[in-house]
Copies of this chain bind each other. A is one copy, B any other.
Amino acid sequence: MQYVSEKNLGRLSLYRRLLNRLQAEGTRSIYSHELARMAGGTAAQVRRDLMAVGSVGSPKRGYNVRELIDRIGEFLDAPEGEGVALVGAGNLGRAIMAYFSGRRPKLSIVAAFDTDPSKVNRVIHGCRSYPVEEMEEVVRRDGLRVGIITVPAKEAQGVADMLVAAGVRGILNFAPTPLRVGPDVHVEDIDMTMSLEKVAFYARKHALEREPAK
């Protein structure tokens, strides 16, 4: 299995989703250019990405959909499944719990934490919530290696430190602030404010180009 970059990895995740839809529709095989068209990339890129997971296509029939799904799964998924801890059961946190609820059996949020007494010791979207004081204990007990942070920016670094101390090695960070973690922890940021500002910038640019009246 060769080196796979972070961008490769993201695209593999996308391909799998597209392939799952195709399989549900009864499609058995697919060519690189077809998958590229669906994913919004080039055929060469798709071939290179698929090569990385050891897939085998044939010039005549392209790639077997089921086999591709299996290969990507072997590469991406933990065979035994992966439990996720979510910290911050506010509006965004609860929406994310709802979003991931039942979507992937091998990757599901199994515990939520909050400081607000009204939000803990309950079941939210099928997930048990605990006071933050119990975080280290629960994360250790359940062997959770993945965390999601949906607390305000000011609290995010402290939460990250607690998660890492409890054994978490990957964090999906929704707090609009950079996190400092060690080299053995991976952080993925989802910065909605940054994304919206970028979109607004380009929207304005496109609108101005359209009517070049000065």
A: which residues have CB within 8 A of B?
A: 6, 9-10, 13-14, 17, 38-40, 76-78, 82, 84, 91-92, 94-96, 98-100, 103-104, 107, 145-146, 148, 168-172, 176-178, 180, 184-188, 190-207, 209-210
Assembly CA distance A39 to B48 (angstroms): 33
B92 touches A99 (CB 8 A): yes
B99 touches A203 (CB 8 A): no
Closest 10 CB pairs of A and B: A170-B203, A186-B202, A95-B95, A170-B199, A169-B206, A169-B203, A91-B95, A40-B178, A145-B203, A91-B98
Given A104-B193, A195-B172, A185 contacting B206 (CB threshold 8 A): yes
Cross-chain pairs A/B with CB under 8 angstroms, 24 sampled: A13-B191, A40-B178, A78-B204, A82-B204, A84-B200, A91-B95, A91-B99, A92-B96, A92-B98, A92-B99, A96-B192, A107-B196, A145-B200, A146-B200, A168-B203, A170-B201, A170-B203, A184-B206, A184-B210, A185-B206, A186-B198, A187-B199, A188-B196, A190-B195
B191 touches A14 (CB 8 A): yes
Given A40-B178, A91-B99, A194 contacting B13 (CB threshold 8 A): yes
Q: How far is the CB of A49 from chain B (nearest CB, A)?
A: 13
A186 touches B206 (CB 8 A): yes
A95 CB contacts on chain B under 8 angstroms: 91-92, 94-96
Q: CB < 8 Å: which of B13, B178, B196 contacts A197? A: B13
Most chain B CB within a 10 A radius of its CB, from A96, A104, A146: A146
A92 CB contacts on chain B under 8 angstroms: 95-96, 98-99
Return the chain B residue nearest A168 by Cβ: B203
A40-B180, A169-B203 provided; 19 other pairs, C-beta below 8 A? A14-B194, A38-B178, A77-B200, A82-B204, A84-B196, A91-B95, A92-B98, A107-B200, A145-B200, A146-B200, A170-B200, A170-B203, A170-B206, A172-B192, A172-B195, A172-B196, A188-B195, A190-B192, A190-B195
